[in-house]
Each structure stands twice: as C-alpha cells, then as structure tokens.
Amino acid sequence: MKNVRVLLSIYFLFTIYSLQSQKVKMNLMECVEMAVKKNISVKQIELRGLEAGIDKNDAKGNFLPSINAQANHSWNIGLNQDITRGTLENRTTQYTSMGANLSVDLYRGLRNLNQMYRANLAILASQLQLDDVKDDIRLMVANSYLQIMFNIEILDVQKSQLEVTKADADRTQKMIESGIRIKADLLEIDATMASQEQAVVTAENNLRLSKINLAQMLSITDYENFDIVVLDMDVPFAQILAQNPKTIYEKALTHRNDIKLLLTNIEIAEKDIQLAKGGLQPNLTAFYGFNSRVSYADRFTGNGIFNDVPIGFVPSTNETVLRSVEGSKTVGPLSFGDQFNFNKGHNLGLRLNVPIFNGNAARNNLERSKVNLLRQQNQLEQEKLNLESTINEAYNSAKGAYKLYEASKKTALARDRAYQDAINRFEAGVMNSFDFNQIKQRFDVATSDVVRAKFDYIFKLKVLEFYFGQTITL
C-alpha cells in the first residue's frame, strides 16, 4: 500500500511538471489583451484617471456648504480670585467652549461651475490618453508578432535551402563516384552548405530573440515555454490602397485618440481661462455661526434670607432709609445643559470679497492661461501636420512594398527556373561547380527576399489600416 502511494505521488508530480513545461501558445488577440493588461504605462495612466475622478469629487464639493465644528476645554492654573472671600488664591478653574459655523458660496465668478466642467474634461482626456497608449501597444505587439512570423518563415527557408544543398552534395558525390565530376566540385558545395548551416543558426537565434521581445511586452518571464500560434500568412488584399492619402487622413482626424486628446486639452485650456477670469470677480459668501460656553467655577446665589440694609437717610428728618437685600451663598456651577442653553449665541450674515490689487497674481494667471491655450492649439496643428505626413509616408511605403513584393516573386520565379536549368547542366557536366553555386546562391537570396518583402508589405499595410481606424488582425 505504501509503494502504491509513492507511485501515485511520483505520477502526480510528473503530471504537474509535464503540464507546467508545456509551451503556452497565444494568438495575436491574446497577446494584445495581455500586453494592454500588464503594461506599466497603461497602469500609470489608469491611476491618473482615478486622480481625475477625485478632482471631480472636489469640484462637486465646491457646490456644497462648508461646515466646521470646534470645541475647547481649558484649565486655568495659577492666581485666581476666590469669589467667596474676594481674595486671590492659587487654584485651578476649568472652562469649556464650543461652536459651529457654516458658509456657502453664493457667487465666485462661476468658478465652481467651470471647475466642474474642467474636471469632466480631465476625465475624458485621461480616457483618451489611455486609449491612445493602448492603440500604440496594439501596433507594437502586432509588429512583434509579425516579426516572429517572419523569422519562422526565414528559418524554414534557410532549413529548406540547407536540405537542397545537402541533396546537391549527395548528388555531386554520386557523380564523383561515377567519374562524371571531380572531387574539387564538391568543395564549393560543402562551403555553401557550411554557410547555410551558419545561416540556420542565425535564423534560430533571431527567432528566439523575437519571441523574447514579445514575451517581455507581455511581462512573461518563462521565455522557453512561450510561443505563438503560427498562421498561414497569405498576402492580404490591399483594399485600403484604393483610397487616397487625403481620404485616409480625414478619416484619421475623426477617430485618432491622440487628435481627440489634443482637442480636449484645448477645451481644458479654455476652461482654465474662464477660471482665471473668475479670480478677477467679487466673491459673495453667506455664513452662519453658533457658539456657547460652560464654566465649572463656583457661583453666588440667594439663600432666601432677607436683611434690611441701610442705603441712606432722609435729610429733613435724618431718618434711615432701609432696603431689603437677600443674603447669598456659594453653590456649585449650573448643569452643563443649562449653561449651554443660557450662553448660546448666533451670528449670521453675508461676506463680500472684492479683489482690488493682489500683486497682479490674478491677471498674470489669466495671461498664463491664454499662453497655454495658444500652446495647445499649436500642438494640435503640429500633430495634424505630423499625422498627414505619416499617412502619406505609410501610403507610399505600402504601395512601394507591394510593388517590391510582386517584383521579388518574379525574380524568385526566374531564379528558380535558372536554378533548375543549372541542375540539369551541372548533372550533364557542362557547368562547373562554381557557376552552379553562384546560380543557387542567387536563387536562395531571391527566395529570402520574397519572404522579407512579403512581411514588410504586410506590416506597412497594417500600419495604414491602423491609421484608417481598422482593427489590427492577421
């Protein structure tokens, strides 16, 4: 039974290890989603979005009244008057005071309203910036994905060319053994085979590096077990090339998040001007205050015993004038509630603040806001010029890449025919090994050029579709 448990444990651990060691293959959309999710820049901008939401709550709070309460309890230690004997003595007395106040902005030059509008625009700007960064990440991931696909095809081409060279070497060896060729003819082919083996190693390294590059974009550290879903990359139909650059540019202006972000920044700058103008206008505030106090000292009060106390005399009769005065006694302080009620007070009113001169701070702030608006407008115009230039360049590059791809296919077809003819001539003994290898190398280069031109065209086409607002797909 013990042996069975051991075997089961070993099997369980082996199964887990096998599952963990399996390569994780991801398609383009999965790579894009993971890159967007884990990108640090995206997380930073999302935090800015949270800050913009907090700023909006601040703007909402400006419409609400400001309410504050305060309380104070003090001990007066030292020389104080004893109210029972009228003498000064060292003693401790206690006092409590409390209050509350409320203020409401009635008019602040519309700054509260403009601050709310600005906060909403800031949230929109944060979202647009986030979308713009995500678009850039999608394009970079697509580029890296295509680079892996390119390196896979280049590696296949290099391996295929190596296999063909090995077949040429075997064929030449047989021809040498049959006396058709001399041994020197094999040396050139062996040199070519060694060069192609080196090219295979280089292609494998390039493929590995391109996978590592994409894995780093996805924050994947287990490079060895990361791979992509290999697609059959046919050259897509270039429908977008039927458009002209001007149409693509005008379409880009309507959906590009970077353009929308700059337009939003202009609106924010305009709101900043309105806020600065509000700082030059009077402020009207309504206020209300409540306060009360409590003492813990002893106090005098009547004792209910009245005595006649002379207060003067009548001049004509010299008769003493008496007044009945109640005697007093010392008692403790009134209750907290009674004192709180007896001593309470209220104050309310309006406060008007008119800015007259503050060292030109308010006016300088207004001028600074105007300069910022001009800066944002200039930045928008510059971005439009850059966008138009980029689209024209991408359009011409895509058209040129397609023409280069078509030309590369024709060249590769011609090189293939020349290579097949060279094989027949070489086997017939009418062509030497040097000329044969020269023709084969040209065919190999032409084959690699087709792959290179194909992926260069696909990527440039995807860039153009990206500016046109189409979703990046492969």
Extents of the domains making up the chain: 23-64+108-281+360-468
Instruction: Report the alpha-carbon distance of residue 142 to residue 235 in Å, rounded.
Output: 16
Q: What is the mean pLDDT of residues 423-434?
A: 78
CATH of 23-64+108-281+360-468, one of 1.10.150.120, 1.20.1600.10, 3.40.630.10, 3.30.450.40: 1.20.1600.10
pLDDT (0 to 100) of residue 3:
54
Q: Which residues contact 362 (CB under 8 A, 6 or more apart)?
A: 276, 279, 280, 355
Q: What is the mean pLDDT of residues 437-463?
A: 87
pLDDT (0 to 100) of residue 271:
94
SS3 sequence, 224-247? HHEEECCCCCCCCCCHHHHCCHHH
Q: Which residues contact 432 (CB under 8 A, 6 or more apart)?
A: 185
**Could you tell me the sign of the dihedral formed by the alpha carbons of 291, 295, 296, 300, in that order?**
negative
Lowest mean pLDDT among 75-84, 320-329, 431-440: 75-84
Structure tokens at 254: 């309507």
- Report pLDDT digits (tens) over 390-414: 999 989 988 898 899 899 989 999 9
pLDDT of 429 higher than 90:
no
- The DSSP result for 122-140, as a single string, is HHHHHHHHHHHHHHHHHHH
Residue 283 bridge partners (DSSP): 353
For residue 7, what pLDDT band results from cuts at 50, 70 and 90?
Answer: very low
pLDDT of 15 higher than 50:
no
* pLDDT > 90: percent of the chain: 36
- Report pLDDT digits (tens) over 148-160: 988 988 898 888 8
Instruction: Report the alpha-carbon distance of residue 56 to residue 145 in Å, rounded.
Output: 40
pLDDT (0 to 100) of residue 387:
92
- Report pLDDT digits (tens) over 73-100: 888 887 776 555 556 667 777 888 999 9
pLDDT (0 to 100) of residue 193:
86
Chain mean pLDDT for the chain: 85
pLDDT (0 to 100) of residue 92:
76
Q: What is the mean pLDDT of residues 373-379?
A: 96
